Amino acid sequence: MFDPRLIPALALVLAAGGTALADTPRLDAQRMFPSGEIAFQKICARCHTGREDAVGPDLTANDYDPDTIRHFARHGSGPMPAFTESMVDAVTLDQIAAHLASIRKETEE
């Protein structure tokens, strides 16, 4: 019998050529996160989910200037841990602030 579930597995073996995939470039050398939106989703939004049972407050409900974002990120607050430059760099924090501002603008319009 032909089992259709085997197709993806087979395709993978062919694609990978049965060998190890390897050696990604250092992430920080090419920017840790490609955009403020992705950085926000992969870190901040895991607590700032916007849901009622979220760990942190909804960050799209208020305006935050880049300085406020930077302050909270570097110092943490209560349950929110501090983030070092090596975790989220200064440029990315500004991009996060811009991303939040753009969501805010959309919802206001």
Partner 1 sequence: MTTQREITVTPDGVSPEQFMQALTRFESVVGPDNVLIGEDRLTPYRKTMMPVADEDYAMSAVLQPTSAEQVQEIVRICNDFGVPVWPTSTGRNFGYGTYAQGSAQGHRHQVVIDFRHMNRILEVDAELGTALLEPGVTYQQLVDYLEENDIPLWVSCPAPSAIASPVGNTLDRGVGYTPYGEHFMMQCGMEVVLPNGDLLRTAMGGVEGSNSWQVFKWGYGPYLDGIFTQSNYGIVTKMGLWLMPKPPAYKPFYIRFRDDDDIAEIVDMMRPLRMANIIPNAVVFAHALWEAPAVIPRSKYYDGPGAMPQADIERMKEAEGFGAWNVYAALYGTPEQIEVNWKIVTDAVRALGKGEIFTQEDMAGTEPFEYRAALMRGGMNLQEFGLYRWRGGGGSMWFAPVTVAKGSETLKQTRMAMEILNRWGFDYCGEYIVGMRDMHHVIDLLFDKTDPEDTRNAHACMTELIQTFRQHGYAVYRTNNAFMEQVADCYGPVQRQVNQTLKRALDPNGIIAPGKSGITV
Residues that bind ligand HEC (CB under 6 A): 43-44, 46-48, 55-57, 59, 62, 64, 68-69, 72-73, 77-81, 83, 88, 96
**Shortest Cβ 25–partner 1 spacing (Å):** 7
* Residue 69 partner contact from partner 1, ligand HEC, none using kind-dependent CB cut-offs of 5 to 8 Å: ligand HEC
57 touches, from ligand HEC, partner 1, none (C-beta below 5 to 8 Å by class): ligand HEC
Which residues is 77 bridged to in the sheet? 80
How far from 4 is each of 7, 13, 17, 18, CA to CA, in Å? 6, 15, 21, 21
Using CA atoms, how far apart are residues 35 and 83, in angstroms rounded to an integer?
Answer: 17
